[in-house]
């Protein structure tokens, strides 16, 4: 499950990049692509972010094989507790569908067509993972 969290962190970060790039209340979605490194292997991920009634929502998707049985190619996870303050976006991705230890928290900054920041599994002892996404 820990390797899956790393993949989810990267996808979530992609969504944060889009959260600072449009005014609140606009409906179109934005797609961000990036990759995470798991066990020395780069795994492509995608984040789709939408604003609805001033709130952020979206999905984080694994586009490539992760090398683990925990997460399969094509899996998508809903982002929750998303907020945007200026160019900074924060959200979490629950890997089990519930907010528990298997959650990845993202803190990203949007600059033009790039979103960069950190992702971290909420499990004790987890390390921050730097992430960069580009707007598709």
85-113 pLDDT, tens digit per residue, is: 888 989 999 887 777 777 889 999 999 89
Q: Please list, in sequence order, all residues whose beta carbon lies within 8 angstroms of the beta carbon of residue 102, skipping any fewer than 6 positions away.
A: 1, 5, 94, 95, 96, 121, 123
Domain harbouring 32, CATH code? 2.40.128
CA angle 46, 136, 49 (to 5 degrees): 55
Q: Model confidence at 28, in pLDDT bands (50, 70, 90)?
A: low
Q: How many helices (H) and strands (E) does the chain have?
A: 1, 8
Question: What is the 8-class DSSP label of residue 124?
Answer: T
Domain count for the chain: 1
Burial category of 69 from C-beta neighbours within 10 Å (exposed 0-12, middle 13-18, buried 19 and up): exposed
* Mean pLDDT, rounded, of the chain: 75
Domain range spanning residue 81? 2-135
Tens digit of each residue's pLDDT (9 = 90 or more) over 39-67: 677 788 899 988 877 788 899 888 877 66
């Amino acid at each position: 499950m820990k390797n899956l969290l790393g993949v989810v962190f990267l996808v979530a970060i992609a969504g944060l990049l889009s959260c600072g790039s449009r005014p609140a209340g606009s409906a179109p979605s934005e797609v961000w692509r990036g990759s995470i490194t798991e066990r020395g292997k780069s795994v492509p991920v995608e984040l789709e972010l939408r604003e609805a009634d001033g709130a952020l929502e979206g999905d984080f998707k694994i586009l490539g094989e992760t090398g683990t049985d925990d997460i399969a190619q094509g899996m998508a996870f809903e982002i929750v507790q998303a907020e945007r303050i200026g160019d900074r976006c924060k959200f979490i991705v629950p890997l089990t569908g519930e907010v528990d230890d298997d959650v990845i928290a993202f803190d990203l900054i949007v600059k033009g067509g790039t979103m960069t920041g950190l992702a971290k599994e909420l499990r004790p002892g987890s390390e921050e993972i730097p992430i960069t996404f580009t707007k598709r």
